[in-house]
């Protein structure tokens, strides 16, 4: 079975469509969304329609911090994120709000665990940026493989039974075997707001038959997505970072 | 039904296991066969018992990841992998030839044989490096010879793949490798530099020429680190008939800093195959080890020298290509030759590690093959070399980055292609014949090279105005003198 894993879509319709199209070309059998469907971007309703349609067809979806922030404003966000979130709350209809508030924080699928940020308890929403973050996250879970997003930076961490950790930045399009003697944590990267200097959308594809994971980078019309942010009157920095992938 | 263990007579997923041919500290090897596979096979399984070195299983995991991604004549062909009971295994092609290990009883070998062997190993390493892998355990027992002559690298348990997680690097604090052959940077735990394999090959060539290991066989980390500051005894001191050019090459491979070795293994192979073009430096003349004070200074004052710095070529990213420029020295081709030089001059600043091979083909008559001297008694071959050097003068390339080759063949295109294939040339720059009459009579060398070369080919042609430049009308294809092809 081939499972496409997509996180941090952030109301970027063009990036989501490009990734879905690419994943269909990769013969994906299942789709898993790892949270943060809204926030930052200018097309929350279009994105939510897609997510809800895929969920109705059987896709799995968990909630991210931005999805939770729609219903409550307790979490502290950066000023630009807060501005975008206030705007997003005014845009979303009741169906999308209901859908977002119904999402689970985690979903276990056999030996696989899907979460937005980390298997550790919330709050806070933890960023897995370094090996030691990954170690804590893996120690907080029993799953053989953990899949998450949140940092917007594709990464792969593996740990042995004796606690030896290997961390790796995946090379796009190169399948990486996940040997069974270790437990693995994959950060799939962001569909809708890249932060590693490459503006292309990112997602990952797990092949459970060969036990290989491939991180993909998918080009999409970044200029158009940035323009829609400016048109919506959202902070220009959010358009700029989309173009720069920062 | 899966058997619990692997033993002679076991059937593993259709593979029939034969006799055990090796049991080492890390893994066991069995001969094997499969009714649908026409060549002999090998089953490799890590030793999984109490007290086994944990590196055995990690090394096996690495080999499981790397071997299926490799191809070509310089590696054993991957066939299958699986697990029986709790025992994981790999099935691969069994190379029938022996390893270089038995040669150790015959050392020292004639230097010419070592140079030829070194070139073949360097070609195998270049092929591996182009597939994103640094072997990190190059030694006689890991080098096999195919019946067809190619060297085969085996055992990727300590290797680093540029596009895969490095389980071995993260897992162990101590460096893994084979003590006599480990590069200094590998001793320090740095596993990403393909030039570490050049160091190991340098050790092997030194050992084979002199019968002595350049850095001994230290058993402790402190002994391993000695090679960071203590240079080896120059090979010519131990083996006076070793030519200076070979000492130059061996000592360049053994340089402490990877950047002082050859940019790629293909450059090393080229040097070993063209001794007359090796630039001799102080290395070639050296007849004693560095002085006590130099060594002391290196050891205590110059420590940064031992830490790899700057850009590391974790892969062949193409900034150190071998560039072959095919130059027609005939008077009527002079404008093209000039254009060719301009083109190369424009390319070189972008390729700081490039090595330029200037080629000219001296056409032999198909019947008289021995006419190497022309009517005036001048040796054409030498004359051509002089002209090639003259052509390259204004490029201003230092010795060692440029070489000159007059190829003798009745067929220019096949001579160039042969050179390109034999020397792993990355990029050919060649001029198109100016006159279409000559082209139609002699055939187009450039188009044949462009069609058949296994690398990038730039065809240089002086811009001529076509009819279509003067009108919007479609060009008349039948107007041969104006078309180019």
Nearest CB to B57; choose among A156, A165, A181: A181
Least CB–CB distance from A179: residue in B64, B163, B171:
B64
Q: Closest Cα of chain A to B261: distance in Å?
A: 28
Pairwise pLDDT comparison (B376 vs B451), residue with the higher score:
B451
Q: Which of B54, B65, B170 sits opposite A165 (nearest CB)?
A: B170
> Which of chain A's residues have a Cβ under 8 Å away from the Cβ of B167?
158, 166, 179
Contact yes or no for A229/A41 (Cβ under 8 A):
yes
Residue numbers in B near A166 (CB within 8 A): 165-167, 169-171
B165 with A162: Cβ contact below 8 A: no
Residue B37 lies in a domain: yes
Mean pLDDT (whole number) for B24-53: 88
CB contact under 8 A, B61 and A179: yes
Q: Do A179 and B163 touch (CB under 8 A)?
A: no
- Count Cβ atoms within 10 A of the Cβ of residue A14 and give its class: 0-12 exposed, 13-18 middle, 19 or more buried: buried
Pairing of strands A112-115, A145-148: parallel
The answer, yes or no, to whether residue B241 has pLDDT greater than 80, is: yes
Optimal mutation site among B165, B172, B173, B314, interface A, most CBs of chain A within 10 A:
B165
Distance from CA of B48 to the nearest CA of A (A): 13
What is the 3 state secondary structure string of chain B?
A: CCCCCCCCCCEECCEEEEEEEEECCCEEEEEEEECCEEEEEEEEEECCCCCCCHHHHHHHHHHHHHHHHCCCCCCCCEEEEEEECCEEEEEEECCCCCECHHHHHHCCCCHHHHHHHHHHHHHHHHHHHHCCEECCCCCHHHEEECCCCCEEECCCCCCEECCCCCHHHHHCCCCCCCHHHCCHHHHCCCCCCCHHHHHHHHHHHHHHHHCCCCCCCCCCHHHHHHHHCCCCCCHHHHCCCCCHHHHHHHHHHCCCCHHHCCCCHHHHHHHHHCHHHCCCCHHHHCCCCCCHHHHHHHHHCCHHHHCCCCCCCCCCCCCCCEEEEECCCCHHHHHHHHHHHHHHHHHHHHCCCCEEEEEEEEECCCCCCCCCECCCCCEHHHHHHHHHHHHHHHHCCCCCCEEEEEEEECCHHHHHHHHHHHCCCCEEEEECCCCHHHHHHHCCHHHHHHHHCCCEEEEECCCCCCHHHCCCCCCCCCCHHHCCC
pLDDT surpasses 70 at B171: no
Contacts of A181 in chain B (CB under 8 A): 57, 61
φ, ψ at B74 (rounded to 5°) = -95, 5
Q: How far apart are CA A169 and CA A157, in angstroms?
A: 9
- Do the chains contact at B167 and A166, CB–CB below 8 Å? yes
Residue B49 preceded by cis peptide, ω within 30:
no
B16 forms bridges with which residues in the sheet? B11, B33
DSSP lists the bridge partners of residue A146 as A113, A185
Q: Is the pLDDT of residue B257 over 80?
A: yes
Classify the C-alpha dihedral B157-B159-B161-B164 as positive or negative. positive
Answer yes or no: do B360 and B237 share one domain: no
Give yes or no for B167 touching A (CB within 8 A).
yes
pLDDT at residue B377 in the model: 40
Does residue B485 sit within a domain? no
Domain identity same for B285 and B338:
no
Q: Which two tokens stand for residue B341?
A: 């030089």
The answer as to whether B315 is a domain residue is no
Residue B229 has pLDDT above 90, yes or no: no
Q: What is residue B170's three-state secondary structure?
A: helix
The per-residue pLDDT for A204 is 98
Tell me if chain A has a CB within 8 Å of the CB of B450: no
Nearest chain B residue (CA) to A213:
B164
Q: B295 and B211, same structural domain? A: yes
Q: Is B53 on the interface with A (CB under 8 A)?
A: no
A with B: how many residue pairs have Cβ under 8 Å apart?
36
B134 lies in some domain: yes
Mind listing the pLDDT tens digit for each residue in B68-92?
999 999 999 999 998 887 889 999 9
B170 CB neighbours in chain A (<8 A) are: 164-167
Query: In this structure, are B252 and B172 located in the same domain?
Result: yes
Share of chain B above pLDDT 70, in %: 85
pLDDT of residue B461: 87
- Helix, coil or strand: residue B323: strand
CB nearest A156 (choices: B54, B65, B165): B165
Question: In the structure encoding, which two tokens stand for residue A12, read together?
Answer: 């970027």
The structure's pTM equals 0.86
Identify whether residues B48 and B175 lie together within a single domain. no
Which among A72, A150, A52 has a CA at the least distance from the CA of A106? A150
pLDDT value, residue B442: 59
Tell whether B474 is covered by a domain: no
> A97: which DSSP letter?
H
Q: How far is B313 from chain A (nearest CA, A)?
A: 16
Instruction: Note whether residue B435 is domain-resident.
Output: yes
Q: For chain A, give percent helix, strand, coil, nearest 5.
A: 35, 20, 45
What is the CATH classification number for the domain harbouring A223? 3.60.21.10
Last residue of a domain, one of B259, B279, B306: B306
**Is the model's pLDDT at B374 over the cut of 60?**
no
Distance from C-alpha of B232 to C-alpha of B215, rounded to nearest angstrom: 6
Give contacts of B171 with chain A, Cβ < 8 Å.
Answer: 160, 164, 166
Nearest residue in chain B measured CA to CA from A180 = B61
Whose CA is closest to A167, among A178, A177, A155, A183? A155
Range of the domain at B40: 11-93
Q: pLDDT category, B56, cuts 50, 70, 90?
A: confident
Give contacts of B53 with chain A, Cβ < 8 Å. none
State yes or no: pLDDT of B369 exceeds 50: no
Compute the radius of gyration of chain A from its Cα atoms: 17
Question: Which chain A residues are closer than 8 Å to B65 by Cβ?
Answer: 176-177, 179
**Chain-centre distance for alpha carbon B314:** 15
What ipTM was assigned to the predicted interfaces of this complex? 0.84
* Residue among A166, A174, A177 minimizing CB distance to B166: A166
Tell me the mean pLDDT per 10 residues along chain A, length 246: 98 98 97 97 97 97 95 84 94 95 95 94 85 90 95 94 86 92 94 96 96 97 97 96 94
Same domain, yes or no: B149 and B290: yes
DSSP 8-state assignment for residue B83: E
In this prediction, residue B4 has a pLDDT band, given cuts at 50, 70 and 90, of confident
Burial per residue of B451-465, b for 16 or more beta-carbon CB atoms within 10 angstroms, e otherwise: eebeeebbbbeeeee
Q: Which residues form the domain of A50?
A: 2-244
Compute CA distances B2 → B15, B46, B87, whole Å: 12, 18, 10
| Radius of gyration of chain B from its Cα atoms, rounded to whole angstroms | 26
- The CATH number of whichever domain residue B51 belongs to comes to 3.30.200.20
The closest of A138, A133, A154, A143 to A8, measured between CA atoms, is: A154
pLDDT digits (tens, 9 = 90+) for A176-198: 999 888 899 999 999 999 999 99
Mean pLDDT of all residues in B320-337: 90
Confidence category of residue B483, pLDDT binned at 50, 70, 90 = very low
The phi, psi pair for B291, rounded to 5°, reads -65, 160
Residue B36: count of CB within 10 angstroms of its CB: 6
| Across B271-282, average pLDDT | 92
Distance (Å) from the alpha carbon of A64 to chain B's nearest alpha carbon: 28
Distance CA B68, CA B362 (A): 44
Q: Tell me: pLDDT of B315 over 50.
A: no
Does B298 share its domain with B334? no
The Cα of A154 is separated from the nearest Cα of chain B by a number of Å equal to 13
Tell me how many domains chain A contains.
1
Determine the residue of chain A that is closest to B62 in CA distance.
A179
Instruction: Indicate the burial class of B149 (C-beta count within 10 angstroms; 0-12, 13-18, 19 or more).
Output: exposed
Say yes or no for a CB contact (<8 Å) between B163 and A171.
yes
Q: In chain B, what residues touch A162 (CB-CB under 8 Å)?
A: 54
Instruction: Looking at the structure, tell me whether residues B278 and B191 fall in a common domain.
Output: yes
Nearest residue to B403 via CA among B360, B355, B363 = B355
| Band of pLDDT at residue B313, cut at 50, 70 and 90 | very low
For an interface test with A, the pick among B48, B55, B170 (most A C-beta atoms closer than 10 Å) comes out as: B170
Query: Is residue B354 assigned to a domain?
Result: yes
Report the distance separating Cα A51 and Cα A16, nearest Å: 9
CATH code of the domain in which B264 resides: 1.10.510.10
User: Which residues, 6 or more positions from A132, have their beta carbon under 8 angstroms from its beta carbon?
Assistant: none
- The CATH number of the domain holding residue B447 is 3.40.50.620
Give the pairing of strands A176-177 and A212-218.
Answer: antiparallel
Distances in Å between the Cα of A220 and the Cα atoms of A7, A12, A16, A170, B453 are 16, 10, 9, 20, 36
Q: In total, how many domains does chain B have?
A: 3
Token pair of A61 as six digits: 């979806």
Q: Which helix (H) or strand (E) element contains residue B420?
A: helix B412-422
pLDDT at A202: 98
Confidence (pLDDT) at A72: 82
Is residue B481 in some structural domain?
Answer: no
């Amino acid at each position: 079975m081939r499972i496409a894993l997509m996180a941090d879509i952030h109301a970027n319709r063009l990036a989501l469509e490009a990734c879905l199209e690419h994943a269909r070309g990769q013969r994906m059998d299942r789709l898993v969304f790892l949270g943060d469907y809204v926030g930052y971007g200018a097309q929350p309703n279009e994105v939510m329609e897609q997510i809800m349609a895929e969920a109705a067809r059987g896709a799995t979806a968990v909630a991210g911090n931005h999805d939770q922030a729609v219903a409550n404003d307790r979490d502290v966000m950066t000023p630009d994120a807060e501005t975008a979130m206030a705007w997003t709350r005014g845009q979303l209809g009741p169906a999308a709000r209901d859908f977002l508030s119904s999402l689970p924080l985690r979903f276990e699928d056999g030996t696989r665990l899907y979460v937005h940020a980390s298997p550790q308890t919330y709050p806070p929403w933890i960023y897995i940026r370094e090996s030691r973050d990954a170690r804590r996250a893996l120690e907080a879970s029993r799953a053989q493989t953990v899949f998450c997003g949140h940092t917007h930076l594709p990464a792969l961490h593996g740990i042995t039974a004796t606690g030896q950790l290997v961390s790796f930045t995946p090379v796009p399009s190169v399948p990486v075997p996940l040997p069974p003697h270790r437990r693995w944590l994959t950060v799939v990267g962001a569909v809708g707001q890249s932060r590693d200097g490459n503006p292309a959308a990112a997602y990952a594809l797990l092949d459970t038959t060969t036990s290989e994971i491939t991180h993909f980078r998918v080009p999409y019309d970044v200029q158009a997505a940035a323009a829609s942010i400016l048109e919506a009157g959202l902070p220009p920095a959010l358009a700029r970072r989309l173009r720069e992938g920062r | 039904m899966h058997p619990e263990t692997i033993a002679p007579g076991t059937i593993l997923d259709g593979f029939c296991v034969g006799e055990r041919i090796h049991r080492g500290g890390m893994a066991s090897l069995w001969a094997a066969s499969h009714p649908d596979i026409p060549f002999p096979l090998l089953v490799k399984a890590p030793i999984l018992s109490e007290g086994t070195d944990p590196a055995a299983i990690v090394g096996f995991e690495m080999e499981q990841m790397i071997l299926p991604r490799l191809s070509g004549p310089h590696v054993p062909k991957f066939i299958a992998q699986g697990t029986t009971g709790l025992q994981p295994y790999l099935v691969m092609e069994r190379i029938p030839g022996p390893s270089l290990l038995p040669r150790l009883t015959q050392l020292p070998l004639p230097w010419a044989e070592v140079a030829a062997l070194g070139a073949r190993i360097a070609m195998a390493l270049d092929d591996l490096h182009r597939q994103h892998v640094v072997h990190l355990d190059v030694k006689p027992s890991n080098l096999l010879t195919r019946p067809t002559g190619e060297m085969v690298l085996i055992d990727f348990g300590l290797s680093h793949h540029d596009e895969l997680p490095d389980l071995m690097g993260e897992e162990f604090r101590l460096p893994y490798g084979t003590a006599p052959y480990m590069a200094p940077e590998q001793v320090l735990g740095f596993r990403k530099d393909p030039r570490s394999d050049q160091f190991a090959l340098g050790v092997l060539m030194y050992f084979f020429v002199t019968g002595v290991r350049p850095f001994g066989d230290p058993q402790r980390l402190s002994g391993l680190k000695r090679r960071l500051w203590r240079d080896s005894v120059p090979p010519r001191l131990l083996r006076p008939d070793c030519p200076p050019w070979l000492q130059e090459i061996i000592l360049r491979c053994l340089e402490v800093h990877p950047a002082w070795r050859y940019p790629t293994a293909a450059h090393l192979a080229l040097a070993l195959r063209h001794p007359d073009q090796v630039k001799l430096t102080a290395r070639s003349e050296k007849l004693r080890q560095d002085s006590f004070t130099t060594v002391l200074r290196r050891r205590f004052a110059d420590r940064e020298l031992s830490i790899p710095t700057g850009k590391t070529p974790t892969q062949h990213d193409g900034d150190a290509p071998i560039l072959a420029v095919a130059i027609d020295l005939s008077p009527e081709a002079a404008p093209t030759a000039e254009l060719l030089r301009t083109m190369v001059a424009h390319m070189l600043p972008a390729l700081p590690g490039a090595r330029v091979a200037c080629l000219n083909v001296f056409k032999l008559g198909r019947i008289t093959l021995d006419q190497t001297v022309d009517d005036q008694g001048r040796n054409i071959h030498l004359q051509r070399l002089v002209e090639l050097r003259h052509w390259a003068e204004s490029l201003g390339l230092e010795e060692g980055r440029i070489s000159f080759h007059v190829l003798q063949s009745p067929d220019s295109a096949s001579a160039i292609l042969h050179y390109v294939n034999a020397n792993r040339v990355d990029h050919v720059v060649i001029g198109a014949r100016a006159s279409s009459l000559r082209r139609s009579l002699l055939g187009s060398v450039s188009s044949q090279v462009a069609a058949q070369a296994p690398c990038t080919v730039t065809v240089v042609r002086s811009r001529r105005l076509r009819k279509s430049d003067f009108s919007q009308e479609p060009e008349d294809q039948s107007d041969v003198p104006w078309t180019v092809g």
